[in-house]
Amino acid sequence: QVKLLQSGAELVKPGASVKLSCKTSGFTFSTSYMSWLKQVPGPSIEWIGWIYAGDGGTNYNQKFKGKATLTVDKSSSTAYMDLSSLTSEDAAVYFCARISGSHYFDYWGQGVMVTVSS
Amino acid sequence: DIVMTQGALPNPVPSGESASITCQSSKSLLHSNGKTYLNWYLQRPGQSPQLLIYWMSTRASGVSDRFSGSGSGTDFTLKISSVEAEDVGVYYCQQFLEYPLTFGSGTKLEIK
Protein backbone atom coordinates (compact mmCIF):
# COMPACT_ATOMS: atom_id res chain seq x y z
CA GLN A 1 0.00 0.00 0.00
CA VAL A 2 1.50 3.30 -1.11
CA LYS A 3 1.85 5.96 1.58
CA LEU A 4 3.25 9.48 1.57
CA LEU A 5 3.38 10.85 5.09
CA GLN A 6 4.23 14.51 5.49
CA SER A 7 5.59 16.25 8.55
CA GLY A 8 3.37 18.38 10.75
CA ALA A 9 2.22 21.98 10.48
CA GLU A 10 4.86 24.68 10.74
CA LEU A 11 4.75 28.18 12.20
CA VAL A 12 7.75 30.10 10.93
CA LYS A 13 8.97 33.66 11.41
CA PRO A 14 9.39 35.93 8.39
CA GLY A 15 12.87 35.62 6.93
CA ALA A 16 13.44 32.16 8.35
CA SER A 17 13.65 28.83 6.53
CA VAL A 18 11.74 25.60 6.95
CA LYS A 19 12.37 22.01 5.85
CA LEU A 20 9.37 19.86 5.01
CA SER A 21 9.55 16.09 4.77
CA CYS A 22 7.59 13.42 2.92
CA LYS A 23 8.25 9.86 4.07
CA THR A 24 7.18 7.26 1.54
CA SER A 25 6.50 3.55 1.58
CA GLY A 26 4.89 0.91 -0.58
CA PHE A 27 6.81 1.57 -3.80
CA THR A 28 10.35 1.70 -5.14
CA PHE A 29 11.43 5.16 -4.05
CA SER A 30 14.85 5.04 -5.68
CA THR A 31 13.37 4.98 -9.19
CA SER A 32 10.63 7.53 -8.55
CA TYR A 33 10.07 11.14 -9.39
CA MET A 34 8.79 13.08 -6.40
CA SER A 35 7.12 16.42 -6.77
CA TRP A 36 6.11 19.26 -4.47
CA LEU A 37 3.10 21.51 -4.96
CA LYS A 38 1.75 24.61 -3.28
CA GLN A 39 -1.90 25.34 -2.60
CA VAL A 40 -3.19 28.66 -1.44
CA PRO A 41 -6.81 29.51 -0.63
CA GLY A 42 -8.60 30.45 -3.78
CA PRO A 43 -8.10 27.64 -4.31
CA SER A 44 -5.24 27.11 -6.71
CA ILE A 45 -2.40 24.64 -7.05
CA GLU A 46 1.10 25.48 -8.24
CA TRP A 47 3.76 23.00 -9.20
CA ILE A 48 7.07 23.75 -7.49
CA GLY A 49 9.32 21.10 -9.02
CA TRP A 50 10.35 17.48 -9.05
CA ILE A 51 13.34 15.47 -7.97
CA TYR A 52 14.39 12.10 -9.31
CA ALA A 53 15.26 9.98 -6.30
CA GLY A 54 17.67 7.84 -8.32
CA ASP A 55 20.29 10.52 -8.85
CA GLY A 56 18.91 13.66 -7.22
CA GLY A 57 18.29 15.35 -10.53
CA THR A 58 15.80 18.20 -10.29
CA ASN A 59 13.46 20.29 -12.41
CA TYR A 60 12.07 23.47 -10.87
CA ASN A 61 9.31 25.82 -11.83
CA GLN A 62 11.22 29.03 -12.60
CA LYS A 63 8.95 30.84 -10.16
CA PHE A 64 10.32 28.82 -7.25
CA LYS A 65 14.01 28.79 -8.12
CA GLY A 66 15.88 30.28 -5.20
CA LYS A 67 12.88 29.73 -2.94
CA ALA A 68 12.63 25.93 -2.85
CA THR A 69 15.35 23.28 -2.74
CA LEU A 70 14.41 19.64 -3.21
CA THR A 71 16.45 16.77 -1.81
CA VAL A 72 15.95 13.09 -1.02
CA ASP A 73 17.31 10.51 1.39
CA LYS A 74 17.15 7.16 -0.36
CA SER A 75 18.06 5.27 2.80
CA SER A 76 14.79 6.37 4.44
CA SER A 77 12.72 6.81 1.25
CA THR A 78 12.05 10.40 2.21
CA ALA A 79 11.77 13.51 0.09
CA TYR A 80 12.48 16.96 1.48
CA MET A 81 11.78 20.52 0.50
CA ASP A 82 13.63 23.49 1.96
CA LEU A 83 11.87 26.84 1.72
CA SER A 84 14.06 29.86 2.37
CA SER A 85 13.57 33.52 3.27
CA LEU A 86 9.92 33.00 4.05
CA THR A 87 7.40 35.79 3.62
CA SER A 88 3.63 35.95 3.92
CA GLU A 89 3.47 34.93 0.25
CA ASP A 90 4.86 31.52 1.22
CA ALA A 91 2.03 30.76 3.65
CA ALA A 92 0.18 27.84 2.07
CA VAL A 93 -0.48 24.13 2.21
CA TYR A 94 2.33 22.16 0.61
CA PHE A 95 1.85 18.71 -0.86
CA CYS A 96 4.31 16.09 -1.95
CA ALA A 97 3.18 13.79 -4.74
CA ARG A 98 4.64 10.99 -6.79
CA ILE A 99 4.78 11.39 -10.53
CA SER A 100 3.71 8.32 -12.46
CA GLY A 101 5.71 7.24 -15.48
CA SER A 102 2.55 7.98 -17.44
CA HIS A 103 2.64 11.71 -16.64
CA TYR A 104 0.27 12.32 -13.79
CA PHE A 105 0.40 12.67 -10.02
CA ASP A 106 -0.80 9.31 -8.78
CA TYR A 107 -0.19 9.48 -5.03
CA TRP A 108 -0.29 12.53 -2.76
CA GLY A 109 0.75 13.28 0.78
CA GLN A 110 -1.81 14.65 3.20
CA GLY A 111 -0.41 18.17 2.92
CA VAL A 112 1.26 20.40 5.48
CA MET A 113 0.24 23.92 6.37
CA VAL A 114 3.01 26.49 6.64
CA THR A 115 2.13 29.70 8.48
CA VAL A 116 4.48 32.67 8.33
CA SER A 117 4.08 35.02 11.26
CA SER A 118 6.20 36.87 13.80
CA ASP B 1 3.42 28.90 -19.47
CA ILE B 2 0.31 26.99 -20.54
CA VAL B 3 -2.75 28.60 -18.98
CA MET B 4 -5.59 26.32 -17.94
CA THR B 5 -9.04 27.92 -17.71
CA GLN B 6 -11.91 26.12 -16.04
CA GLY B 7 -15.62 26.84 -16.23
CA ALA B 8 -18.03 27.06 -13.33
CA LEU B 9 -20.95 24.80 -12.44
CA PRO B 10 -24.53 25.97 -11.82
CA ASN B 11 -24.39 24.94 -8.17
CA PRO B 12 -26.00 23.24 -6.42
CA VAL B 13 -26.49 20.32 -8.79
CA PRO B 14 -29.45 18.06 -7.91
CA SER B 15 -28.45 14.60 -6.80
CA GLY B 16 -28.82 12.13 -9.67
CA GLU B 17 -28.36 14.77 -12.36
CA SER B 18 -25.31 14.93 -14.60
CA ALA B 19 -22.65 17.64 -14.41
CA SER B 20 -20.06 18.71 -16.97
CA ILE B 21 -16.93 20.66 -16.12
CA THR B 22 -15.04 22.40 -18.87
CA CYS B 23 -11.35 23.16 -19.14
CA GLN B 24 -9.50 25.04 -21.85
CA SER B 25 -5.75 25.15 -22.41
CA SER B 26 -3.86 28.00 -24.05
CA LYS B 27 -1.93 25.51 -26.16
CA SER B 28 -2.77 22.12 -27.64
CA LEU B 29 -1.96 19.32 -25.20
CA LEU B 30 -1.71 16.73 -27.97
CA HIS B 31 1.75 15.18 -27.95
CA SER B 32 3.42 13.84 -31.08
CA ASN B 33 2.98 10.35 -29.61
CA GLY B 34 -0.79 10.70 -29.97
CA LYS B 35 -1.50 11.12 -26.27
CA THR B 36 -3.19 14.22 -24.89
CA TYR B 37 -1.57 15.11 -21.58
CA LEU B 38 -4.58 16.42 -19.70
CA ASN B 39 -5.43 15.09 -16.24
CA TRP B 40 -8.39 15.61 -13.93
CA TYR B 41 -8.30 15.52 -10.13
CA LEU B 42 -10.90 15.78 -7.39
CA GLN B 43 -10.08 17.41 -4.08
CA ARG B 44 -12.71 16.55 -1.51
CA PRO B 45 -13.08 18.92 1.47
CA GLY B 46 -10.10 18.58 3.80
CA GLN B 47 -8.35 16.03 1.60
CA SER B 48 -5.54 15.86 -0.91
CA PRO B 49 -6.31 15.86 -4.62
CA GLN B 50 -6.91 12.45 -6.12
CA LEU B 51 -6.48 11.42 -9.74
CA LEU B 52 -9.68 10.76 -11.70
CA ILE B 53 -8.74 10.85 -15.38
CA TYR B 54 -5.42 10.88 -17.21
CA TRP B 55 -4.47 11.23 -20.90
CA MET B 56 -7.75 13.20 -21.29
CA SER B 57 -10.05 10.19 -21.22
CA THR B 58 -8.51 7.25 -19.33
CA ARG B 59 -10.13 6.57 -16.00
CA ALA B 60 -7.71 5.98 -13.12
CA SER B 61 -7.79 2.72 -11.23
CA GLY B 62 -10.74 2.45 -8.85
CA VAL B 63 -12.55 5.51 -10.23
CA SER B 64 -16.29 5.14 -10.79
CA ASP B 65 -17.45 4.79 -14.39
CA ARG B 66 -19.77 7.73 -13.69
CA PHE B 67 -16.71 9.86 -14.49
CA SER B 68 -15.66 10.31 -18.09
CA GLY B 69 -13.25 12.63 -19.85
CA SER B 70 -13.34 13.89 -23.42
CA GLY B 71 -12.09 16.70 -25.59
CA SER B 72 -9.82 17.91 -28.33
CA GLY B 73 -6.33 19.40 -28.15
CA THR B 74 -7.37 22.52 -26.27
CA ASP B 75 -10.95 22.01 -25.05
CA PHE B 76 -11.81 19.37 -22.50
CA THR B 77 -14.80 18.15 -20.53
CA LEU B 78 -15.14 16.06 -17.42
CA LYS B 79 -18.62 14.58 -17.21
CA ILE B 80 -20.09 13.18 -14.03
CA SER B 81 -23.22 11.20 -14.69
CA SER B 82 -25.71 10.96 -11.84
CA VAL B 83 -23.88 13.03 -9.23
CA GLU B 84 -23.75 11.72 -5.69
CA ALA B 85 -22.95 13.26 -2.32
CA GLU B 86 -19.42 11.81 -2.41
CA ASP B 87 -18.65 13.81 -5.58
CA VAL B 88 -18.66 17.09 -3.65
CA GLY B 89 -15.39 18.98 -3.84
CA VAL B 90 -13.20 20.96 -6.20
CA TYR B 91 -12.23 19.54 -9.58
CA TYR B 92 -8.96 20.51 -11.24
CA CYS B 93 -7.64 20.00 -14.72
CA GLN B 94 -3.87 19.86 -15.14
CA GLN B 95 -1.54 19.73 -18.12
CA PHE B 96 1.51 17.52 -18.26
CA LEU B 97 2.74 18.46 -21.74
CA GLU B 98 5.22 21.17 -20.84
CA TYR B 99 7.06 22.59 -17.89
CA PRO B 100 6.07 24.30 -15.76
CA LEU B 101 3.19 21.93 -15.06
CA THR B 102 0.05 23.97 -14.56
CA PHE B 103 -3.42 23.52 -13.08
CA GLY B 104 -6.74 25.15 -13.69
CA SER B 105 -8.17 27.29 -10.90
CA GLY B 106 -10.66 24.61 -9.92
CA THR B 107 -14.40 24.07 -10.28
CA LYS B 108 -16.49 23.56 -7.18
CA LEU B 109 -19.29 21.00 -7.17
CA GLU B 110 -22.09 21.25 -4.63
CA ILE B 111 -24.97 18.79 -4.44
CA LYS B 112 -28.59 19.57 -3.68
User: Cβ neighbours of residue B66 under 8 Å, at least 6 residues apart?
Assistant: B80, B81, B82, B83, B84, B87
Tell me the mean pLDDT in the region B73-91: 96
pLDDT band at residue A44 under the 50/70/90 scheme: confident
**Could you read off the pLDDT of B48-66 as tens digits, one per residue?**
999 999 999 999 999 999 9
> What's the rounded Cα separation, in Å, for the pair A54 and B93?
29
Which residues in chain B have Cβ-Cβ distances shorter than 8 Å to A43? 43, 90, 105-106
Which residues in chain A have Cβ-Cβ distances shorter than 8 Å to B60? 104, 106
**Could you read off the pLDDT of B27-50 as tens digits, one per residue?**
999 999 999 999 999 999 999 999
- Residue A97: the pLDDT is 98
Amino acid at A45: I
Minimum distance, in Å, between the CA of residue A84 and any CA atom of chain B: 21
Interchain CB distance below 8 Å, A61 and B60: no
- Residue B95: the pLDDT is 98
Give the residue among B98, B71, B96, B94 at the shortest CA–CA distance from A44: B94
Q: In whole numbers, what is the pLDDT of chain A averaged over residues?
A: 96
Question: How large a percentage of chain A has pLDDT more than 70?
Answer: 99
* Contact of B63 with A16, CB cutoff 8 Å: no
Interchain CB distance below 8 Å, A62 and B100: yes
**Checking DSSP bridges between strand A112-116 and strand A10-12, what pairing results, if any?**
parallel
Minimum distance, in Å, between the CA of residue B49 and any CA atom of chain A: 7
**Could you read off the pLDDT of A56-98 as tens digits, one per residue?**
999 999 999 999 999 999 999 999 999 999 999 999 999 999 9
Q: Is the peptide bond before B14 cis (omega within 30 degrees of 0)?
A: no
